[in-house]
Each structure stands twice: as structure tokens, then as C-alpha cells.
Amino acid sequence: MKYYKVAILNKNLEPLTYHFDKNVSIYSIVEVVLKNKLHKGVIIKEVEKPIFKTAEISTVLEEKLSKMQISLANFISYYYISKIGISFNLFTPYKNKNDQNINFKLKPNLSPNQQKGYEFIKNNQISLLFGDTGSGKSEIYISLLVDILNKGKQALFLMPEISLTPQMEKRLKKYFGDHIGVWHSKITKSEKEKLLKDFENGDIKLIAGARSALFLPFTNLGLIIVDEEHDDSYKSSQNPRYNAKDLALYIAKKLDSKIVLGSATPSLSSFVKHPSFRLKGTYFSSQKTIDYDISETKITPKILQELKNTLSNKNQAIVFLPTRANFKYMICKECKTIVTCPYCSVGMSFHKSKNALVCHYCGFSMYAKTNCEKCGNEVLESKRMGTSEVVSQLQSYFPSANIAKFDRDEITTQKKLINILSDFNDGKIDILVGTQMLSKGHDYHNVKLAVVMGIDAGLSYADYKAREKTLSLAIQIAGRSGRTGKGKILLQTEQADFFKDYIENYDKFLKEEKYYRDGLYPPFTRLLRILISHKNEKKAEESMQICLNNLKKIEDIEMIGYGKAAIEYISSKYRYEILIRANSHKPLIKAGNICDTTNVQIDMDPISFS
């Protein structure tokens, strides 16, 4: 009889011991019984017969994990402080692997400047392609993809969100036909099964998709492209809290594969750490002007006039706002108390179509006509306009215009995403009003006006990257206007001096931001966030104190702060946090492990502090 440690997939448990009457290879995928239920697991190692009674492995499956997947799962477990069964659950295994060579002959024609960028990347294993919006980064990506695929290798094209995939898929299919697979959370089970079959038999050589595409069974990966590398969507908000961009860099170094990070607004960390090529200007002839509407967030005469001019010229416009719903929150006119969710310490957003107040954290909703809990006053005032309200107001000003919404409330399926983007590209929509989804690299050739509203809120966040994120977002949205010909950006802000300094000179911003962060924040130091949550506030605070006492044993760490989290109550749980700084990852991993208990979430390299 043989005895094996088995990591149960998607269970926050240490590996358990099972027996089997035959030899089983390490890292085989098996089925085992746990608490009368059948679960999949991965064999971690063979062990001596234990002193306790063991259950038998039910089935040894044909599914396999590639060497890359095994290496990456172990790294995730170590670096992001996650149980190995949780890490292995990220991966999609394979059954059979066959390879075949496919030759691709079509290649983009590169401009002299693009050719320089292409040669720069060919001469570096890791490269940052720092290219203005519309400068033609995609043509360089495609040229590199053709090269690597024609060598018989596989390639991975990562994008931050699925909202990018329909357009990029269309562009990639022009060059790679059916030999490209698109992978993300919204494709159906049958589509995934077909894609995996074609990937295993070598019909698909290129995978394009969101961060989960990183966990497919690559066996001969030659190139990874991380587009919009600055985007926070690459970071998982669930355990394990990995960053797909950082994992892509780890894989590339491990396999000695080429990796390209691309963005018009690269993160300071990537800019400092990796060799970069600066691709300036636009691929198509374009002229842009930037104007400012010095105002709080609202529909002003200036915005209406610019939209009127755009519509009268038969052109399209996009309007950005960071907030969904009609209004971010409701406030009592008498005592100024905000109506908050009973289960979270956040204001509830007003959705006029449902006549409801909805919590965007836990989903709780209630009838909108409510009295102030503090003073009983019936008159509530709406604050911080959202996308639904902007659409409603613009429809009253421009009744003959077709105005559509582009946010998570509206785009609930892949089909809706494709349809609305198709309608906009076909000119069926005049004004597209949306949240951050609008900024994600879409290429609209008839958009002549980009209106940016509500951008100031980002500058006030308690986040060391607040300036970088806010400026990046403004530049990305501005980049959607005037892709060809003339375009205008109207930026509504009460912080005009900040934007005037940097919006047309991101290079200058990176240089100055580097100076401000040196010695304090990434990329010059590393951070670890420990988040403690419990339904009992006293127990949550006690857990934090135990963790703080344990952290005194760790050398080479600096306590930035601790206490109640910025949002101190979510889904009926009280939240406390500890933020730690160090010069290397090793003491932070020790710190994370010493605090890794029930009700504690470990966030290595955090990007969110709410």
C-alpha cells in the first residue's frame, strides 16, 4: 500500500493523507472523498504510513498539469501565502498534448518608429512598450506573435478585462484565423471545452484573454504580451490575491520566454524596473485639443454645448463617470447624514429605474423613499451623479440622439458587450456614457469628443498610487477621442492645475512621481496588507492585536499603520487592517505566514486600500 499527501482543490486546508494500492505519479490529479463528498485533488508527495487510519484514493484521473502550471502553483502558494489546494484550483489541466506547426504569412506593415520598437523588444527578454494611445502598439504585438508562432511555439496575449476582447479578437483573427482561442469568465462551458480540445491538439497556438488565461496548460510558451499593463484588473481580489502581470513576469523568467508589457500610461513600477521603448505620436493622422470645465461633477452648459456641436457634425461622443447608478449616495437635507447600508459602512447608491437604494458592496437593496435614521427627516438629497443619471439628463436635452450606457449594470453578458460595441462602431449610438470600462483601449474612429466627469474623487483616495491611477485614467479616456482626424477632450475638474501639468506629458509625471515615492513606496519598497474581518467586532480587534504581537518577532519590517479599515464594516463583518513595509519580500512572507489564521486575508503587493 502507498500513502500520499493530497491537496484538495479549492479547500483552504493543509494536504491530507490518503492511500492507494498502486504507484501514482506526483502531481497526478485524483478524486478523493472528504466529508462524504467527492473532491478533486493533486498528489503533492508520497509519505510513510501514518499512525492514523486513512481513506483510499477513489480514482486516478487522466488529467495532467504541465510543468509550468506546477511551478506556478507552488510559487503562488509560497509568495501569496495561500494553501496549495487553493492555488492549484486556479489551473485548467489537460488530457493529451499534440503539437503541430502552422505557418502564418500575413504581417503588419510597420512604420520606421514601430520597427525600432519591434527591434528593441526582440533584443530584450523583458520589455516595456510605452506607447501613446493610437501609436500602433498592436501592430508591434502582432509582428512579434507571428515570429514566435512561426517557430512552433505558443503565445499568450493578456488583456485586463473582457471588454477589450471582442475588438482585439477581430484584429487578431485577421492574422491568425481560427488558430487563436479567446478565454475569459463569460464564455460558455461548451466553448471552453472546444477551445481546450483545439489547444491540446495544436490547432490553437495563441490564447488571448483575461487573467485566468494565464492558468491554461501551456507546454511550449514562447511569448507573453501583457496589454494595458498598468491596469488594476490584473490583481485578484480573492484568495489567492495574485497579480497576473507579476506572475507572467515570473513565468517568462522561469521559462526564458519573451515578455512585453504595453501601455500608454505604464505603472511607475514597470517603468523603473524594466527596459522601455518610447513610442510617441499616433499611427493615424490625429489632432487633439484639451479644454477644461472648472466645475464640480454635473451637466454644465459647457458640456451640453460641446455635445451639441459634436452631434450636429454627425460625430460621436463618449462621456466618462466613475460612478454607476443615478447617484452615489443620498444625504439628509436637515442633518447631512448619509443613508448607509445596514450591513456595510458605505452609502447606498440610488437606482431610479428600480426606485431603490442599492449597496454596491453586499447587494442589499431597499425602497428609495426612506426617512433619515438620525433625525427622521423625509427630505433626502442625491449626491455624486452616476452614469444612469447622466444618460437620463442627456436624453432630456437631446431627445433625438441615441444615448447608451456602458457599465457593469448594463453589460451583464458577453453578448451584450459585443452588441453595444458593434452598435457604437456602426454609428447606431451617438453618445456612449460609461464607467472605467470606456477607458480600456477601444478603438473608435468616429469619436470626436471625450467628456471626463467625476475624475477628482480619485485624487483624494488614501492610496500611494492615487495620482498615478487618476492621471492614467484621464489619459486613457482622452485617448478614445480623435483616433483619426480632429478630436476634443473636455475635462471637468476643480483640480485643473494637476491635469494641465501632466495630461500631455506622462513622461514628466513618471519622473516626478519617482522622486516622491523613493524610499517610501513601491517600486522602491514592498508592501503587505493584512485584513482581519469578523462578525464580532471585539474578536476582530483581538485578532489584530495577536497579529501585532506576533509581528514583533519579525526583523526588517516597518509598521506603516494599523486599526479600523477605511471601510470598517462590509457584509456584516467588522474589518481591521495592518499595513507593513519592507525592502524585500522575504520578511513580508514571514509576516504573512505568522498572521495567516482564520478570519485573516493576506494581500501581498496590495493595490487597493479600502
Longest dimension (CA), the chain: 82
Three-class secondary structure of residue 472 per DSSP: helix
Q: Are the CB atoms for 203 and 566 separated by under 8 Å?
A: no
Please give the annotated binding residues, written as ranges.
Answer: 332, 335, 341, 344, 359, 362, 372, 375
The x, y and z cell numbers of residue 259, run together, are 515578455
**Strand bridging mode 206-209 / 154-158:** parallel
Separation CA 422–CA 307 (nearest Å): 22
The C-alpha torsion from 493 through 498 and 502 to 503, rounded to 10°, is: 0
Q: Are the CB atoms for 529 and 80 separated by under 8 Å?
A: no
Please give the annotated binding residues for Zn(2+), written as ranges.
Answer: 332, 335, 341, 344, 359, 362, 372, 375
Separation CA 405–CA 433 (nearest Å): 5
CB neighbour list of residue 497: distance below 8 Å, 6 or more residues apart: none
Q: Are the CB atoms for 155 and 223 separated by under 8 Å?
A: yes
Q: In what order do the strands lie in the sheet with 55-56?
A: 55-56, 16-20, 2-8, 37-47, 29-34, 59-60
Q: Is the dihedral of CA 436, 438, 439, 441 positive or negative?
A: positive
Residue 164's nearest CA partner among 480, 607, 489 is 480
Measure CA of the first residue to CA of the last residue in the chain; give whole Å.
52
Q: In what order do the strands lie in the sheet with 526-534?
A: 558-570, 573-582, 526-534, 600-604
At residue 279, what are phi and psi to the nearest 5 degrees?
-105, 105
Q: Are the CB atoms for 244 and 234 separated by under 8 Å?
A: yes
Separation CA 420–CA 428 (nearest Å): 9
Q: Is the dihedral of CA 255, 258, 263, 267 positive or negative?
A: positive
Residue 196's nearest CA partner among 95, 101, 99 is 95
The enclosing H or E element of 293 equals: strand 286-294
Owner of C-alpha cell 480587534? 541
Question: For residue 48, with 0-12 CB atoms within 10 Å meaning exposed, 13-18 middle and 19 or more buried, which class applies?
Answer: exposed
Q: Are the CB atoms for 64 and 93 separated by under 8 Å?
A: yes
